[in-house]
Each structure stands twice: as structure tokens, then as C-alpha cells.
Amino acid sequence: MDHDSTTAPGHASQPDPVTRLFDVRGKVVVVTGASSGLGEGFARTLAQAGVTVFAAARRVERLEVLAEEHESVIPVACDVTIDADRRALVERAIAGRGRIDILVNTAGIPGPPYAEQETEDGFRRILEVNLASQFHLATAVAATVPEGREASIINVSSVIGMVSTAPIGGAGYAASKAGVLGLTRELAGQWGRRGIRVNAIVPGWFDTEMTEGLFTNERSATWVRRNTMLNRGGRAGEVDGALLFLASPASSYVTGQAIVVDGGWTAR
């Protein structure tokens, strides 16, 4: 008999060692940008994995729908560019569950595709949402982690922050997502000795609210397929494996890294 995944009669069975690698049950997670796109998918996946999810976004009505579907999702109205909102989000999680084990910085906005179309205010807004908010939330969460406790911070970047994707992408968006990668490495370096791991997920082309029209336009859809090794865009849920890896004990010795999930786009 295989005793690795069983216990003595009368005792509840325990997960086998491999399953425990990816076990995040009981964790407390904050996910920003959870009202749509990858953020919404992340919140759903984590809730299904047995995590308490404080789902944050400006469109709280969408979060409430998510909470109705998953009782472990707690909706929190939050504009990540507002300091009071960020502090209230962190305080809500600490007051409700006593700790934050994982932060997933997903909130982001796109910009115009051409540099000539960027305005000073628009450029600043993109950096505030996509980059500065990740820094401020990461530092706020890190401040709640006591000595001897570990935490995982997962920042969401983009292939647009690694390579030029002109004519799709935009200067402001590219700058913000490249900044996320630098921020991830630096925070990992500063906080590693405290047991706080900081990593980034780098998605390729996925059909989300932010990429609306990309896959319904045959010209742009063909462009994605032609330049992707797997000859297609990403499917719903295909980033979730990287998320669970970085959130779980399976990545306990991984920090300062960028996990690219792009079907081979940046490897060409």
C-alpha cells in the first residue's frame, strides 16, 4: 500500500507531498484589479483553491457579483492611486483575518498606441496606476509582515515591458510595465532577508477587457498568431498556473524573478 497520501484508519487523509507543494488553503490574499480581466480570474482561482480573497477594484458592483459566487471573496472598493483607499484595503484585510500572506498587484490601465498621442496627464496617470500603486501597496503590505513570517508579493507586468510590440502597446504602458520588472527585482533584494518574496508574472496576449478588439479584428489576431510560437493568443486560466506557483510553497526559493506566460512571444 502507498502510505504517502494516506493515514491510519480513523484519521482524515492528508495531502501527499506533491499536492502540499501547491497548497494555498487558508491563506489570506489581496488582489487588485479584480473586477475584470486577469485580476478577476486570479480572484476566482484563488477562491477555488481555498484562499480568503480581498478583491479590490473601483467597480465594486462587479466584485459583489464575484462574492456572491464565491463566499471566500470579500469585495473592497479601492482606487489604487488614492493613499486612503490603499491604507483602508490593507487595514480591512488585517482587521478581518489578522494578516496578509499574498499580495497580487494586478490593477492596470492601457494608454494610446502612439507616443504622439500621449498627454502629460495621461502618461502620469498610467504610471500612477500601473507602477506607483504596486510600489505603495507592496510597501504597505510588507510593513504588516512580522519577523519570522513569510509573504509573497506578485506583481503583474507585461511582454510590452520587455520588448517593443509596436504598433500595439504604447510608450506610457511600456514604461510602466518595464518599471514593474525593475521594482520587482529591487524589492526582492531589499526584503529577501525578511522572508518576503517578490516576483512578477509577465503575460502575453490574452483576450481581456484591456485588449478589446485585438482578437476580433482579423488583422491584429493574425499578427498575434504569426508572432507567437504556439500560434495563438492565451486562453482563459493559462496564467493561473504561474499565479499558484508563486503563491504556494512550490516557489519558496524563488524571488526577484519574472515568469513569462506568452506562448513564446518574447523568445522569437
Q: Which of 228, 258, 265 is CA-nearest to residue 242?
A: 258
Q: Using the 8-state DSSP alphabet, how is residue 131 labeled?
A: I
Rounded Cα gap, residues 206 and 219, in angstroms? 16
Cell numbers that stand for 202 in this block: 509577465
Return the DSSP state at 257: -
Give the pLDDT confidence score for residue 5 in this predicted structure: 42
Domain ranges of the chain: 23-261
Residue 208 scores a pLDDT above 80: no
What's the grid cell of residue 153? 508579493
Pairing between strand 102-105 and 52-57?
Answer: unpaired
User: For residues 66-101, b (16+ Cβ closer than 10 Å) or e, as one string?
Assistant: bbeebebbbbbbbbbbeeebbeebbebbeeebeebb
CA nearest to 159, candidates 63, 213, 224: 224
Residue type, 173: Y
How far is the C-alpha of 91 from the C-alpha of 30, rounded, in Å?
Answer: 11
Per-residue pLDDT at 215: 72
The pLDDT confidence band at residue 220, using thresholds 50, 70 and 90, is confident
Q: Which pLDDT score, from 0 to 100, does residue 213 have?
A: 64
Residue 92 has pLDDT above 90, yes or no: yes
Q: Which three cell numbers stand for residue 56?
A: 479590490
Residue 3 has pLDDT above 80, yes or no: no
106, burial (CB in 10 Å: exposed 0-12, middle 13-18, buried 19+):
buried
Report, as an integer, the average pLDDT of 4-21: 62
Residue closest to 40 by CA, chosen among 22, 18, 17, 64: 64
Residue 73 has pLDDT above 60, yes or no: yes
Is residue 253 part of the annotated active site? The answer reads no
Query: What are 65's three cell numbers?
Result: 457579483
The residue type at 212: E
CATH of segment(s) 23-261: 3.40.50.720
Grade residue 158 by pLDDT with cuts at 50, 70 and 90.
very high
pLDDT tens digits, residue range 221-243?
888 888 899 999 889 899 999 99
Residue 165 scores a pLDDT above 90: no
Kindly report which listed range (103-107, 125-129, 166-170) carries the lowest average pLDDT score: 166-170
Q: What is the pTM of this model?
A: 0.91
Question: What is d(CA 25, CA 11) in angstroms, rounded to the nearest whole number?
Answer: 20
Cα→Cα distances 42→49, 141, 208, 260, Å: 11, 19, 13, 16
Cell digits for 211?
Answer: 485588449
How many DSSP H helices and E strands does the chain contain?
9, 7
Mean pLDDT score of the chain, rounded to an integer?
A: 92
Q: Is 25 exposed, middle or buried (0-12, 13-18, 19+ CB in 10 A)?
A: exposed
Q: Which of 42, 54, 123, 173 is catalytic?
A: 173
Q: What is the Cα–Cα distance from 71 to 66, expressed in whole angstroms?
A: 9
CB 95 within 8 A of CB 21: no
Percent with pLDDT over 70 in the chain:
92
